[in-house]
Structure 1
Amino acid sequence: MSTTEILEFPRPVTPEGKPDPLLLDMIRDNPLLPVVGPGGTRAWLVGSDALAREVLSDPSRFSNMIDPAATNSRANMVVIDPPHHTRLRKLAAQAFTPRRVRVLVPDIEDLVSSLLDEMAAAGSPLDLVEALAMPLPTRVICRLLGVPQEDQKHLRHWSHVFTAMTAYTSDEIGAAVDQMYAYMHRLVAERRDDLGEDVLSYLIRARDGQDALTEDELVATVVLLLVAGNETTLKAITRGVMALLDTGQWSRLASGEVDAGQVADEVLRHQTPIDTGLFRWAKVDMDVAGHHIAAGEQIFVSLHLANFDPAARADASTFDPGRESVPHLAFGHGTHFCLGSPLARAELAAAFGQLAARFPTLRLEKPISELTWTVGSMLNAPTSVPVAW
């Protein structure tokens, strides 16, 4: 099949935040599709729940690295394979134990409360993205890392550019990445001389016998936490409130019929923040789902499409926070399952729960068909969500 006969990927989601209907129809009959990725390169798209789990849990066949033989000083856990990945994850996990996350919850709830106070003082209507979805994850991750408040706007910009696919030029992306890494090297050096109880201090202290994170590994891990903890949560809050209001589910949350934890998981499933896909590369020649994949070929694993797989969950296209719990793939699967998932769930639950309690009559000020979405990024959401109450 020639590249002119196959779909380009990524494709825009619908105004409701659902995967492209054409892709959903095609994936239903074939869990693996040939596509043309950014830059015109041939790739494979994985869109079923079962095949996504297979690919993500088999590092012996599917690599996170473009060139498994190459590494660099900026390689983080997302782009490396075991056993290097296993070692880094074991060390970094010491900063994200269940007990550590429970200790962080009151801080998260306080940050949400202060932003809602500001919303109430500003009055209706306003833009939910500017008022809550954007500042909350930045404040949370910066408080966790001990980043000074005056630097937060720079980190927000860098993390936004970092996740771009085509929204910025390669020079712009490179400059933002250079600036972010330089900043983090300075922050790590300063924190080593003044350790506290923040996550960065825990990462500096992390030990496994005589082993510890090197300076480059530490900085790369902190950059990953910043980007992942910022952009994904921003998009999930934005898309979650949009979906709750558009589908009439807001009243169920505000009345307590469904709890904020249920809402958070259904938002992650139905409005998966990483709506493009996770990248993998074939390590060997293989046959998968009736197709031959050659070693070195690129693979997109679409978590969003997989979360809409009707073979894995009933009525998958419907947004229903009250549905019986079914495991989703928004945090990935296998060895690279998101290390910060408990923290993300806590943040989303606090945001949705407190927002509904404070503003039970919240409503959209314009139809979702009129909202403008980001484009050219690994994570997409409306750039503005006008709301009133």
Structure 2
Amino acid sequence: MTTAEPRNYPFSTPERLEVEPMFAELRANQPLSRVRLPYGEPGWLATRYEDVKVVLGDPRFSRAASLEHDEPRMRPQPSLPGSILSMDPPDHSRLRRLVTKAFTVRRIEQLRPRVRQIADELVDGMLAAGPPADLVEAFALPVPVTVICELLGVPYADRGDFRYWSDAFLSTTRFPPEEVADCAGKMHAYLEGLIAQRRAEPRDDLLSGLVAARDNEDRLSEEELVRLAMALLIAGHETTASQIPNFVYTLLTHPDQLAMLRADLSLVPKAVEELMRFVPLGIGAGIARYATEDIELGGVLVRAGEAVLPALASANRDESAFPDADVLDLRREDTSHIGFGHGVHHCLGAPLARMELQVALDTLLRRLPDLRLADGESGVDWKEGLSTRGPERLLVTWEQ
């Protein structure tokens, strides 16, 4: 095993949506470096685009192996067996196939009118209440929460509970470990209750379909069913709820790009892809993969049993992959970012997230063409103590 003294990571405290400045130096001079995260054993940090794609896509890098190690991580809790995020094929493929049909591009496009209706109704509420408004509470959270509740079959009235549990799951320092464990237990019990309801009274929703796959086809265990529902509920709203205000803030602070987009809303899909590349969502790196054999990567020999952390934010700013990578360019032609990951763990809900982000931006720019920050930076409160970045409060205003 490698014995080089690792550096503490993250290298600095993340500020707003700024990308770690050390990444550029590492990409140029030390694309794989030894790091130690707040929890777990040391690992390698991969910073170049091509190396990160190898870590995410090469089957010689395993997620399941993390269960045999104290994996490097930002949060106190380690990965748990039964979670799709801790599986390799064929188990990962078996669970993914159960839900893939709900997230096909065709199926998601059928949901677009409903998402547009949700977004328009929320803007109606903002206009009725008058400016200023907290975009997070008034719009960014309700859009994906409503959609995932309807898709999965979770009561929207319970959003306060599962939002709190989700924050605990994503906590780095905001919640003490014992509260994280308590919230995980409560979410587990809550979903067990919903599953029992769907067994008694099946509905036309994704949770009922998963229950049928468990009971009628024996395609997953009971614990896998609960953990899959948990992953879908958390991931189905959290990332989009963070990225909507992230994208709006980024546009409002890049007025030239915002003006171009306002002048041509047909650019919204391309803008979403560029914003996915440009905006860093996490405060750390991607989840660790373990080498199952000795592998040369970035000029370094990674030994079997060593962890490698893919730095997605660094990869998306790699000049060798994206010319002028630190420049936001909504007309950029290359959309091969890895904001949704890569390989077998490529975000299952990417088509849904893309569509929600497109609808959100289109609706806000169409309905509120003079949207702007209400109080400058003083009207923005940034998340602290969570593994995802974004405003917790984003005050915006417009002309009445």
TM-score (norm 1): 0.91
TM-score (norm 2): 0.89
Does structure 2 conserve the Cα–Cα contact (< 8 Å) formed by 1:258 and 1:321? no
Sequence identity percentage: 35
Asked if 1:388 is matched to 2:389, the reply is no
- Aligned pairs (5 A) from 1:48-127: 48-67=48-67, 75-127=82-134
Aligned match of 1:251: 259
Asked if 1:144 is matched to 2:151, the reply is yes
Aligned match of 1:38: 38
Query: What amino acid maps onto 2:320 in structure 1?
Result: A
Alignment length (residue pairs): 387
372-381 or 176-185: bigger deviation: 372-381
Asked if 1:266 is matched to 2:274, the reply is yes
> Which segments of 5 or more consecutive residues in structure 1 lack a partner in the other structure?
none
Does structure 2 conserve the Cα–Cα contact (< 8 Å) formed by 1:56 and 1:62? no
What's the offset of the Cα at 1:126? Answer: 1.7
Does structure 2 conserve the Cα–Cα contact (< 8 Å) formed by 1:259 and 1:353? no
Deviations 1:141-167 (A, max 9, x none): 112122222211101111121112232
Does structure 2 conserve the Cα–Cα contact (< 8 Å) formed by 1:159 and 1:230? no
Query: What amino acid maps onto 2:345 in structure 1?
Result: H
What's the offset of the Cα at 1:6? Answer: 2.4
Aligned match of 1:359: 368
What's the offset of the Cα at 1:48? Answer: 1.2
Counterpart-to-counterpart distance in 1, 2:85 and 2:26: 29
What's the offset of the Cα at 1:213? Answer: 2.8
Counterpart-to-counterpart distance in 2, 1:204 and 1:251: 48
Q: Sort the Cα spacing of 1:171 and 1:295 in 2 relative to 1 into closer, same or farther, 3 A.
A: farther
Does structure 2 conserve the Cα–Cα contact (< 8 Å) formed by 1:63 and 1:282? no
Q: 1:158 aligns with which of 158, 165, 178?
A: 165
Q: Sort the Cα spacing of 1:90 and 1:10 in 2 relative to 1 into closer, same or farther, 3 A.
A: farther
Q: Sort the Cα spacing of 1:221 and 1:245 in 2 relative to 1 into closer, same or farther, 3 A.
A: same
Aligned match of 2:347: 338
Counterpart-to-counterpart distance in 1, 2:101 and 2:265: 36
Query: What amino acid maps onto 1:97 in structure 2?
Result: T
Does structure 1 conserve the Cα–Cα contact (< 8 Å) formed by 2:265 and 2:362? no
Counterpart-to-counterpart distance in 2, 1:62 and 1:369: 44
Does structure 2 conserve the Cα–Cα contact (< 8 Å) formed by 1:7 and 1:35? yes
Secondary structure (helix, strand or coil) at the match of 2:244 reads: helix
What's the offset of the Cα at 1:328? Answer: 0.7
241-250 or 134-143: bigger deviation: 134-143
What's the offset of the Cα at 1:319? Answer: 1.4
Aligned match of 2:327: 318
Counterpart-to-counterpart distance in 2, 1:150 and 1:370: 28
Deviations 1:301-324 (A, max 9, x none): 111111111110111111122211
Does structure 2 conserve the Cα–Cα contact (< 8 Å) formed by 1:28 and 1:309? no
Q: 2:203 aligns with which of 196, 203, 207?
A: 196
What's the offset of the Cα at 1:272? Answer: 3.5
